[in-house]
Amino acid sequence: MENVIEMLEITKEFPGIKAVDNVTFEVKKQEIHALLGENGAGKSTLMSILFGLYQPEAGLIKVKGKEVKITNPNIANDLGIGMVHQHFKLIDDFSVVENIILGYEPVNKFVLDLDTARHKVIELSEKYQLNVDVDAKIEDISVGMQQRVEILKMLYRDNDILIFDEPTAVLTPQEVKELMKIMKNLINEGKSIILITHKLKEIKMVADRCKILRKGKKIGCVEVAKTTESEMASMMVGREVNFNVEKEAKKAGDVVLEIKNLVIEHKKKYNVVNDISFKVRKGEVYGIAGIEGNGQTELVYGITGLVKVKSGSIYFNDQDITNMPIKKRFDIGLSHVPEDRHKHGLVLDFTLAENIVLHSYDKKPYQENGIINKKEVDQYANRLIKEFDIRSSLGSKTIVRQMSGGNQQKIIIAREISLAPDLLLVVQPTRGLDVGAIEYIHQRIIAQRNDDKAILLVSLELDEILSLTDRIGVMYQGQLMGEVKTYETNENEIGLMMAGLNKKESDLNE
């Protein structure tokens, strides 16, 4: 079958690195072609070139057999190339139709012709079975539906080459299945799809072929049906990967953290955390699963003191810490690896050493009478650099902004674990990291558990929750839908709870 896209011997350099190095990439009509690689492998750069955001230094692009120069996204769009970005580009206050026609508004004698647009959108939605309520406001619909709006946007613009950038990151397992079905529909209607992802399972489910990139170079192109997941994984990483986290059986001890009927308000409008209670014990990893935006972030903020609690209480080692200042919570043994490492976790323009002492700069021996003891700080930093294998160009003097994401995260992990906390609160610890760093961080978390510490893990990655935790609580719209023991549950049960069924209902559904 003919190639709709051919990118021939593309090279793109950024100062210091070749982000894409002589890569050839072609997509056939009506196929789903996956693009697999770790962070920094060049997937996004390659797609940005196709979408007109970057210009390659060498190589040429052919669309439907014709050589083209794509210098901006509008040209890409005219060629029928559309993209669903990882973070949706939608306006919350606008309706679905208004979002879809944005930039391509149909006009009838200087007046916006919303009716025609609305009909076309409804038609498309029915044709591809997208089930979108075209008149709803974006802020009122689920993330899954928002994604379908993004898909509709591409269809409305008559795009027939669709790029999906990590489309499943924000979806429940059920929604993922739904999306896969939609993708197959699109293919049957004559579209072609490029799927950017690092999730092997999904590639296996839906893709026809898979191109693997590593460090900007093309490593291989495989027929998905004839290749196993672990083969693809080792091609991606360049070595054998161990997906299973070794975890010894262990009995949980005393309660370290107890949450009682916790309620947290969002902008005095509604309860974003609504009457939640649970306990975390010594020597166990308690996982909070759920789709993004169901109150997990606020729950964590409540426990660490970043937001005020409306009612309910938080006990830490039998001490009421509900209204305790943030600093004191760290002092009594609560550590926090925050969800957003750039916003909360690090001062990016500080050095590595300065970031290491973000909590302990005012403790002895790192200061004396208000004066920082640089020597002690550097020694401490160097010790952690060694112990946690943090790699940087200038050691403790490296400006953190210049370091890789994995090593930045290691700084935070090192800092928080070295406080020897009773409770380690870890939120999304591996978001955006490569397989090697993920392995390492998982080992560290389990080591803490085996060391009889309590760990509260909040993650959107269901696989991470299932492989690390001992017990799981599932959050949906600010409430805990149920609590399960990890060895007794499965992805399906948790997935249903993530979608809003409580434990009993999801059991019946089995």
- Site residues for another protein per CB under 8 A: 304-306, 325-330, 336, 338, 343-350, 354, 358-359, 361-362, 367, 370-372
Cβ 117 vs Cβ 95: under 8 Å = no
The structure tokens listed for 378 are: 């550097």
What string of H, E and C letters represents the secondary structure of 373-395?
A: CHHHHHHHHHHHHHHCCCCCCCH
CB nearer to another protein: pick between 89 and 327:
327
**CB of residue 408 vs another protein: minimum separation in angstroms?**
12
Distances (CA, A) of 465 to 334, 442, 470, 487: 21, 11, 9, 12
**CB of residue 270 vs another protein: minimum separation in angstroms?**
23
CB nearer to another protein: pick between 197 and 360:
360
**CB of residue 372 vs another protein: minimum separation in angstroms?**
6
For residue 460, what is the DSSP state?
S
**CB of residue 84 vs another protein: minimum separation in angstroms?**
29
CB nearer to another protein: pick between 168 and 297:
297
**CB of residue 398 vs another protein: minimum separation in angstroms?**
11
**CB of residue 306 vs another protein: minimum separation in angstroms?**
7
Residues in the chain: 510
Chain CA centroid to CA 129, Å: 27
Q: What is the largest CA-CA distance in the chain?
A: 75
**CB of residue 327 vs another protein: minimum separation in angstroms?**
3
CB nearer to another protein: pick between 308 and 327:
327
CB nearer to another protein: pick between 282 and 329:
329
Give the orientation angle of helix 143-156 with respect to helix 114-127, to 10 degrees.
110
Give dist(CA 81, CA 120) in Å, integer.
Answer: 20
CB nearer to another protein: pick between 304 and 428:
304
- DSSP-assigned letters across all residues of 230-255: HHHHHHHHSS----SPP-------SE
CB nearer to another protein: pick between 347 and 447:
347
Nearest one of 443, 465, 345 to 401, comparing CA atoms? 345
